[in-house]
Structure 1
Amino acid sequence: MNMYKHNILLSVFILSWILMNTSCSKFLEKKTDQSLSIVSTVDDLHELLVYYPWMNSYSPSLGEACSDNYYLTDDDWGATSELTQNLYLWQKYDQLKGDWSSPYRMINTANTVIDNADKVTINNSGEKQRANTLKSMAYFVRAFYHFGLSQLFMKVYNKETAKSDLGIPLKLTSDLNEKITRATAEVTYRQIISDLELSLKSLPISLKEKYLATKQAAYGELSRVYLSMQDYQNAGKYADSCLKLYHNLIDYNSVDSTSQSPFEQFNLEDIYDIQSISPNSLQQSKAKVDSTLYKSYANNDIRKYAFFQSNGDGTFHFKGNYTGKPGNHTMFTGIATDEMFLNRAECFARQGDSSAALNDLNNLLRHRYVKGTFKQYSSPVSGGLIKLILKERRKELLFRGLRWTDLRRLNKESEYADTLYRFINGKEYELLPGSDRYTIQIDRRSVELSGLIQNP
């Protein structure tokens, strides 16, 4: 990284850190114009937004640590951090640091681009188009990280109470003097959706760099957002819009399922590449895949071998990460075509179009089974089509940061709700549907310094 880029990023990092860690007037009285004056050209905007280790590596991950795809032994639980110990057992805990502050640093970087895109020096029409595209990408980034925060630090969306339920603090400018409070759930979601709609204005349809936002990425994120709202009409519509632009699937018969890292980064299914730093509870040496989940894969399902590896003691760890990296130190939390096919299939099923739902589901699974062995599902489906799709969704999208959102939304329907259990040191812990523990507490320091209302 050249020194100029380093200086720009360092300035934004310092401003973001001050923003999220203090409300003292002596800091806020300092103007930011001088620090941000180095953002003066379209190239400066580009340098801020396209630096992968900064913008694409800090997607929130605590939801996956709270989810039910894995379990810890007593010894492994004891060897994790105090943070992950508490979250694993769904206990109240408010010393979060990274998963609370890091997304806001990315949001503030996006805000710096948005605030300066119409102010930088423009020399020709090509630079004007570049500035518009970068601004659209920044709107996408801001929405992506705000949505990630919403799935941890506010209650699941409820249409009936959204106008009064607390949402998250929305950071919408790079100005440190902007007063930050918690928006309502309704305002939170409307802002995220508005940003994604704005991003569509100038986003390209395709790019060589899969870590930059495209129209299909924005459609995919809109599908995620509406799915979390249980708005299945819009979730299906945007999944469809995404898949009309990009619908490639990997034939898992072409994958080396014995490899420690079977999938390449930026692979054929990758629409938008972003990662999160895994909590230490999810490291391969600790996280044992839920045994019932593992047994749900048929022997001719290639995912059983590409996703998992034996620990040698009858347990298994997950290795099927789309990051292209061995180990579980990072997780792929981006948008991929398999997720979109499952989104659209579920939405078709919920709207009564079983034929279209089965077509999407069978198309996906055909790419997952040993060639010539997959027996297509047909209607009627034993046990119900929606349950089948949800079962396959869990089997396909594990350890991608999606399970927590799914648990939250599905708990609103008694037919699909789950009670989760943990067993540590001879004691049983449970997480009931609708529990306050589905909403993680905000970082204590931010509450103390900013006066934000804490979650229960």
Structure 2
Amino acid sequence: MNYYKYISLILLPIAILSSLNACRKFLEAKPDAKMVVPSTMKDLRALLDDVATMNLSWPIAGEVAADNYYLQTNNWKSISSLTDRENYIWKEDVSNDMDWTLTYRVVLKANLILEKIAEIHPSPDQVKEWNEIKGSAMFYRSFAFFMIAQEFAMPYDPQSATSESGIPIRLTADVNEPSYRSSLKDTYNTIIKDLEYASQLLPINVAYKTRPSRVAALALLSRVHLTIGDYSKAANYADTCINAGIQLLDYNQLSSATDGAFKRFNNEVIFHIAANYSYSLDASICKVDSLLISAYTTGDLRKQLFYKINTDGSLAFSGNYDGSNSYQLYVGLAADEVYLTLAECQARTSRNTDALRTLNEFMKNRYDKLSFTPITSTANLIDIILSERRKELPFRAIRWMDIRRLNTLAGGNITLERRIDNEIYTLPPGDLRYAMQIPTSVLATAQSMERNKR
């Protein structure tokens, strides 16, 4: 199959978004491989630093499908995007062309960079830059594969991962290479292998948080291993990441009275990416789930920092690490997630004393310092950690991932529910809709592409 032709075909549905200023230049651009033939490390660095493509066009459908919010019927009906409306009620065969296309465009560019960097023989003083370029491309490709797998493949189960379909693992920019879906096991093996390699090539710190670093690779490795239930490795990577010097914000030092408590590239951010725009998640109609709000107890500073009160008394999310006035949600890697991953994995591997230490280190930065009392009991420790994770990471494209993985564990039992026009829609554990359908445009042009089961 002609891959560039395939990319062009599946870009067509995105034309409807051309009115969005932030996306206009990207959507009007020709495919990268036809625009430029990179030949130097400066060229390759420029491709990596194309923030619009590499950092600002990441999947959002999982967040639309998650349970952080609800829509009133009149607001749901007013949404012009059919995809958003259908994702909200978990329709069986929603065609999420944008998430698929723009994320595979990151893969395409990463593959092009990897092929071109292999042709360059660096001088001794160029080796550091050469390594960083190669490591960055491998990181981006792995992150893209992981995010695509969270939407278009079923949750990871070690018992069925070898036979379960994963996603197409494109490892070259060869236009004649057909696309086939790898097994779920091979999908994650590729993600992990490339990230491990990238972590050895990348510098510990980078000049800009839109560039991958070794710390970012460690953070992502901890997330990936948590997702597949390898808690020992997830803990090791999270611990190494923390020891590398990542920082937690002290929410006691922030004020909800200021114009945006959270600034873009704040000290907690490890690697910055933002998601595609979703009408469903627009703050003007997206109302935060009341059960989530009720979980914030007295002294929890997040309730006042993450949310603002609507005129009808409901709450809207304003804790966006992309900046409170941004219409794109931050979905990158940050220190708070790493701490919570470490605490959960320590608890799941019977390292309860360590888990308490990690959890309390995190919580003292989230609760009023005058009223915070460290947790000393290990009773229901995992439940407490998961509650903190739930309250800490809404609207980060993480909740969908968490629902999927937790429902594969004993006691997960998370059923999602929506109500529209007095009709109730549900998404129970194990439902095949936890893997969104391969986009219609892809199935129409790629005869080798396997549909998701329904």
Question: SS at the partner of 2:203?
Answer: coil
Amino acid at match of 1:258: A
1:17 aligns with 2:13: no
Show structure 1 runs of 5+ residues with no match: 1-12, 23-31
Equivalences, count: 431
Tell me, in whole angstroms, the C-alpha distance in 2 between the residues paired with 1:325 and 1:118: 41
1:426 aligns with 2:416: no
**8 Å Cα contact 2:322/2:330 also seen in 1:** yes
Show structure 2 runs of 5+ residues with no match: 13-30
User: 1:222-371 maps to which residues of 2 (within 5 A)?
Assistant: 222-327=221-326, 329-371=327-369
**8 Å Cα contact 1:163/1:185 also seen in 2:** yes
Question: SS at the partner of 1:167?
Answer: strand
**8 Å Cα contact 1:205/1:214 also seen in 2:** yes
1:41 aligns with 2:37: no
- Give the structure-1-normalised TM-score: 0.91
Amino acid at match of 1:330: Q
Tell me, in whole angstroms, the C-alpha distance in 1 between the residues paired with 2:159 and 2:10: 31
1:453 aligns with 2:444: no
Tell me, in whole angstroms, the C-alpha distance in 2 between the residues paired with 1:305 and 1:325: 13
**8 Å Cα contact 1:70/1:288 also seen in 2:** yes
Tell me, in whole angstroms, the C-alpha distance in 2 between the residues paired with 1:17 and 1:416: 38
Partner of 1:400: 396
Partner of 2:382: 386
Deviation string 1:408-456 (CA, Å, 9 cap, x unpaired) is 0100123232111111101111110010111100100101110211112
Amino acid at match of 2:101: S
Amino acid at match of 1:209: Y
Question: SS at the partner of 2:167?
Answer: strand
Partner of 1:117: 117
**8 Å Cα contact 1:45/1:134 also seen in 2:** yes
Tell me, in whole angstroms, the C-alpha distance in 2 between the residues paired with 1:34 and 1:338: 37
Residues 16 and 36 (structure 1), Cα distance of their counterparts in 2 relative to 1, 3 Å cut: farther
Tell me, in whole angstroms, the C-alpha distance in 2 between the residues paired with 1:34 and 1:418: 43
Tell me, in whole angstroms, the C-alpha distance in 1 between the residues paired with 2:190 and 2:424: 40
**8 Å Cα contact 1:407/1:417 also seen in 2:** no
Residues 76 and 179 (structure 1), Cα distance of their counterparts in 2 relative to 1, 3 Å cut: same
Tell me, in whole angstroms, the C-alpha distance in 1 between the residues paired with 2:33 and 2:284: 47
User: 1:144-183 maps to which residues of 2 (within 5 A)?
Assistant: 144-183=143-182
Question: SS at the partner of 2:248?
Answer: coil
Amino acid at match of 1:88: Y
Amino acid at match of 2:370: G
Amino acid at match of 1:92: E
Deviation at 1:202, TM superposition (A): 1.3
Tell me, in whole angstroms, the C-alpha distance in 2 between the residues paired with 1:299 and 1:34: 54
Deviation at 1:15, TM superposition (A): 6.9
Residues 298 and 170 (structure 1), Cα distance of their counterparts in 2 relative to 1, 3 Å cut: same
Tell me, in whole angstroms, the C-alpha distance in 2 between the residues paired with 1:238 and 1:75: 45
Amino acid at match of 1:418: I
Partner of 1:83: 83
Partner of 2:28: none
Tell me, in whole angstroms, the C-alpha distance in 1 between the residues paired with 2:193 and 2:6: 23
Tell me, in whole angstroms, the C-alpha distance in 1 between the residues paired with 2:188 and 2:338: 20
Partner of 1:7: none
1:437 aligns with 2:436: no
Residues 289 and 35 (structure 1), Cα distance of their counterparts in 2 relative to 1, 3 Å cut: closer
Residues 16 and 125 (structure 1), Cα distance of their counterparts in 2 relative to 1, 3 Å cut: farther
- Give the structure-2-normalised TM-score: 0.91
Deviation at 1:242, TM superposition (A): 1.0
Tell me, in whole angstroms, the C-alpha distance in 2 between the residues paired with 1:350 and 1:308: 31
Tell me, in whole angstroms, the C-alpha distance in 2 between the residues paired with 1:166 and 1:34: 29
**8 Å Cα contact 2:4/2:175 also seen in 1:** no
**8 Å Cα contact 1:411/1:417 also seen in 2:** yes
Q: Give the fraction of aligned pairs with identical amino acids, expressed as a percent.
A: 36
Deviation string 1:229-261 (CA, Å, 9 cap, x unpaired) is 011111111111111112311111221212352
Deviation at 1:130, TM superposition (A): 1.1
**8 Å Cα contact 2:87/2:94 also seen in 1:** no
Deviation at 1:16, TM superposition (A): 7.4
Tell me, in whole angstroms, the C-alpha distance in 1 between the residues paired with 2:240 and 2:434: 31
Deviation at 1:118, TM superposition (A): 2.0
Tell me, in whole angstroms, the C-alpha distance in 2 between the residues paired with 1:343 and 1:138: 25
**8 Å Cα contact 2:356/2:378 also seen in 1:** no
Deviation at 1:36, TM superposition (A): 7.8
1:202 aligns with 2:191: no
